[in-house]
Amino acid sequence: MGSMKKILAFSSAFSSAFSYLLAQEKPEDSLKNKLNIGFQATVISQYHPKFSADYSGDNSLQPNDESATSLTSTLYVNYHFNKNTQIIFNPEVAGGKGLSGATGVAGFPNGEVFRVGEPTPKVYIARLALEKRFDLKNDNQLRFVVGKYCLADYFDTNPIAHDPRSQFMNWSLMNTGAWDYPANVRGYTMGLLAEYAFKNNWSVRANYALEPTTANGADLSYKMGKDFGLTFEIQKDFYKDGDLFTRVMLLGYRNQAPMAPYRLAIQENVDLGDVRGVRNTKYGLSLNVYQKLSKNVSGFIRTSWNDGKNETWAFTEIDNSLSGGVNLNGRLWNRPDDTIGVAIVTNGISKDHQHYLKDGHYGFIIGDGNLNYGRETALEAYYNVCFMKYYNLSADYQFVNNPAYNQSRGPVSFFSLRFHIQI
């Protein structure tokens, strides 16, 4: 309760101070100084009731009823040197915790929490990057971004299933589940992005990024030729009457890091951390489609896969995933800024991954000490109410069957209340 009070007090003070400063600033001053400033804060409280579990392990979702609250707050500062060059600076504060320490579910139900043990709010630099655009012939454009950022800022950008602060909160719905994208424990990395955007709404992008020194680690490895991730994406947008109608994205990636092979850990009968050292790879593919079904209804479908031979290194323990959902705009009931979202996702892991967990070993987010394998399937539904232009309040429900791929545990329900401010 003490940590919760600190989180809410910090969020309230930060929000009030920023709103006051913003009110003092004249729009023309911001343009004149080429400085754009924004702010967001998100508080999510979650609860799950008691559920059935034949056994529990070190990384299990606890079967007794449980609650947890998380906070993130971000200051967005963009300085434009000219129309094609800007620097992006985002200090961020995060605090609170996830249910069971953000373990026990591969598609974890809160996209705003990290697997860090300290619930006290901590300030850090989320993004510090330089972006440069080049206007080319025929209205084509080339863009480079270098510095610290999140790969999900630029890849896998489904318009209705991408932002846990206002959309779906499940990890495997906010991103494509089997993409083990390079990042530290808070979701950020150092990298270089190159993107070419064509006039006819095709775009291609490629990214080189650093991997963490250890699985789900806080520190990035600067052995740039040894520990890195390569990500590629082709995107095609289709427009109708000036609005985005369809988006199709095909993503491929290859990661290299001292990730341990599941088979070697099984043979040696040890955890993954005991057989790390030799650099191995993980590669995968993802298809992501957004479709506007009518003026007020949109849908999406995602599918992803990785080879599943070596351990997950950064995101979450999913080796294949299929998801789909719909978004309803509040214009249908005379609340144009409100939204309803409903989606379902099913996640799986490779045979080697299954055998490793069956033998009683652990990854960094799941591991019950045994495994009665079944696909982890989740249903999520939310209603987001927008009021006073900048404020959003969401009620969210998630139902997860076979948490951590274990038929001997669950199902479990998650109830969430989310408050979000965006200025």
Say which residues have a Cβ less than 8 Å from residue 153's Cβ, sequence separation at least 6: 127
pLDDT at 32: 55
CATH number at residue 317: 2.40.160.180
Assess contact for 387 and 419: CB atoms under 8 A: no
Q: Is residue 175 part of a domain?
A: yes
Question: Where in the sequence is the domain holding 130, given as residue range(s)?
Answer: 2-417
Residue with tokens 């100084």: 33
Q: What tokens were used for 264?
A: 């070697």
pLDDT at 277: 83
Q: Which of 172, 147, 165, 154 is nearest to 40 (CA)?
A: 165
Helix (H) or strand (E) holding 31: helix 27-32
pLDDT tens-digit profile of 222-253? Answer: 999 999 999 999 999 999 887 889 999 999 99
The one-letter code for the residue type at 384 is N
Region 68-83: mean pLDDT is 95
- Whether the pLDDT of residue 128 is over 50: the answer is yes
Regarding pTM above 0.85, the answer is yes
Q: Is residue 336 part of a domain?
A: yes
pLDDT at 25: 46
Assess contact for 38 and 18: CB atoms under 8 A: no
Positive or negative, the CA dihedral 236, 87, 216, 279 is positive
Split into its structural domains, the chain has a count of 1
Q: Is residue 423 part of a domain?
A: no
pLDDT at 5: 57
Q: Which of 251, 258, 263 is nearest to 352 (CA)?
A: 263
pLDDT tens-digit profile of 94-123? Answer: 999 999 999 999 999 999 998 765 678 899
Say which residues have a Cβ less than 8 Å from residue 1's Cβ, sequence separation at least 6: none
pLDDT at 1: 47
The one-letter code for the residue type at 200 is N
What does the mean pLDDT of the chain come to? 92
Q: Is residue 278 part of a domain?
A: yes
